[in-house]
Amino acid sequence: MSTTPAPHATPAAPAADATAARTYTVRTLGCQMNVHDSEHMAGMLEEAGYVRAAAADEAASRADVVVINTCAVRENAASKLYGNLGQLAELKRERPGMQIAVGGCLAQKDRAGIVERAPWVDVVFGTHNLDALPVLLERSRHNAAAEVEIAESLQVFPSTLPTRRESVYAGWVSISVGCNNTCTFCIVPHLRGKERDRRPGQVLAEVEALVAQGAIEVTLLGQNVNSYGVEFGDRGAFAKLLRACGQIEGLERVRFTSPHPAAFTDDVIDAMAETPNVMPQLHFPLQSGSDRVLRAMRRSYRSEKFLGILDKVRERMPDAAVSTDIIVGFPGETEEDFLETLRVVEAARFTNAFTFQYSPRPGTPAADLPDQLPKEVVQERFERLVALQDRISAEQSAAQLGREVEVLVAESTGRKDAETHRVTGRARDNRLVHVELPAGAPRVTDGIDDPRLADDLDPRLPRPGDLVVTRITRTAPYHLVADRTEATDLFEVRRTRSGDAWAARERARLGLGAEEHSHGGAPAAGIPVVLGLPTVRRA
């Protein structure tokens, strides 16, 4: 562990009101693991007495502490970070006492280089010592110097830390951190270390605690979830964990991300198919359809094995939606290699694909490989792949026309929801669905006049966390629409504990009543705050 003071850090100054709690905001760059890490950062800050900045202040970065949780996977990760820091530099000059902290994968990688390039940064901390954030902020204020502390190995398992959950109806639960794979394009194992698995009892206790507080959906997180259990000697642990989640009363939806095709076994497919609350949805990273490129990537499977697993998944779950990750332009990729990727994509029939143009990441073996492809070649192939996947996604969506779906209403809305009188959510297979409300149903608004908070709640108006059963009337490649028509007017709202928890949180936030569904700890401005490690109830 290293601590590096920087002489050019901006000195802290007393706040205008020394008795007021300091405010914070956390900006997240990157994957679901980063999103969940940001929830831990927020939880620790709130436990230390900070309060989250108001929405308008967050949008304008008017907070006493701004934390940026970084990603190092993509080429533009550094430019995103320093773009953010550049915007904050002027704001910090105007706000004496403001502090800026940088954490996450890029912080783990670049270390003191961040302060050297942006000397107005106060704190830099890595992926292995999230728990140090509040202490480093106080130390930086006291010393009027930057604090850089990077641990070389995991100090505290993140799930034992206080957590400020962004959602009351759905939550992330980490089952492992780190990765034992050696993919040549990936820097994650270097930054997050070898895989460390939590005990099943700890995972299930956290899931049960979330459900007790109102959540009905949980996503199990890991860099390679289906290798879960290797550390404690049980290669069937992930399938057992899925089945155990099926026994938790009140848990209606279980998802997981991401599995590795090389370790994907039949017992996991069986557990998915036979556990009713495990959703018929799979994110299954392909990366390339060329066996030659897969070898160069050190992806220990080949295209036919990948497609064979999908055949088994669809044999057991015919309506399963499958998404993927694909890299275009890996060093040495030929036109023949790329055509193999197109062939596999056509055969796989993905619901959607996250497609990326290869970019060399310093510190990875692939960055030093010969035959790096010209940008124009990669771009042209990328466009062909996107066009193919757009067509397949449109065809896959079209097959949903007329189907009955159950939609978990989300807190975030579609861009046109207000004008089209719709709410937005996810079907069981994770497809995005825009649902038109019945004629005469109140229009959704924000603030104290929100009709979803009324004591006499209109039965036609679902809240975030409630479930709606409806029928698909229109499709697009990456979303579905359920409008009200005379021919198909199916619209059934099921109230849930999650909807109740959302309403209680919003009432407390707006000062309309006491919150009954906080995640432990003292609520800050009526918002759910902390979920620490629950009592372990299963061995």
- Residues of the binding site for [4Fe-4S] cluster: 31, 71, 105, 179, 183, 186
CA distances (Å), origin 529, targets 227, 283, 532? 31, 30, 10
Annotated binding residues: 31, 71, 105, 179, 183, 186
Q: Rounded to whole angstroms, how far apart are CA atoms 325 and 285? A: 5
Which 3-state string (H, E, C) describes 59-75?
Answer: HCCCCCEEEEEECCCCC
Q: Rounded to whole angstroms, how far apart are CA atoms 127 and 150? A: 8
Q: What is the DSSP annotation of 364-394?
A: SGGGG-S-PPPHHHHHHHHHHHHHHHHHHHH
Which 3-state string (H, E, C) describes 388-408?
Answer: HHHHHHHHHHHCCCCCEEEEE
Q: Rounded to whole angstroms, how far apart are CA atoms 109 and 16? A: 36
Query: What value does the CA radius of gyration of the chain take, rounded to a whole number of Å?
Result: 24
Paired tokens of 318: 């015919």
User: Dihedral angle at the C-alpha atoms of 507, 512, 514, 516, nearest 10 degrees?
Assistant: -20
Q: Rounded to whole angstroms, how far apart are CA atoms 37 and 14? A: 29
* Type of residue found at 175: I
* Type of residue found at 432: L
Paired tokens of 287: 């990366």
User: Do the strands 467-471 and 432-436 form a parallel or antiparallel pair, or are they unpaired?
Assistant: unpaired
By CB neighbour count within 10 A (0-12 exposed, 13-18 middle, 19+ buried), where does 209 fall? buried
